[in-house]
Amino acid sequence: MNKNRYFYAAPYLAHQAKLFVLSTDNHLYCEYNHENDPAIYSVQVDQETFVAADFKWADEQALIEVDYTSAVATAQQYQQHWFDNYLAQQLRYEECE
């Protein structure tokens, strides 16, 4: 059972839409384009107590929690490559536990 949490940040001002994964190992992770260069955001947070309303990307872009189905649909539009790879990596990690 996939216990990751998923968050979507809608486009806001100069920020593109982003998809975040909060994995079972407590990493809030996102890959995105920064001035046409790939960038990674990864920070350690407590998965059980993380509140999306308390977090804003660059102090501007709000996160909303979405379910897995919505996250996959969003990834197909914006971030398919990294998202699919990240989830496959997480699945391998969970199988090894």
Task: Enter the DSSP assignment of 52.
Answer: G
Q: What is the pLDDT of residue 57?
A: 85
The position carrying tokens 């929690």 is 65
Look at residue 9 and tell me whether its pLDDT is greater than 80: yes
**Model confidence pLDDT, tens digit, residues 17-36:** 899 999 988 999 999 888 88
**Model confidence pLDDT, tens digit, residues 30-54:** 998 888 888 899 999 999 999 999 9
b/e code 26-49 from CB counts within 10 Å (16+ = b): ebbbbbbeeeeeeeeeeeeeeeee
Calpha distance 18→2 (Å, rounded):
20
- Please, what is the average pLDDT of the chain? 86
Q: What global pTM score does this model have?
A: 0.84
Calpha distance 13→96 (Å, rounded):
42
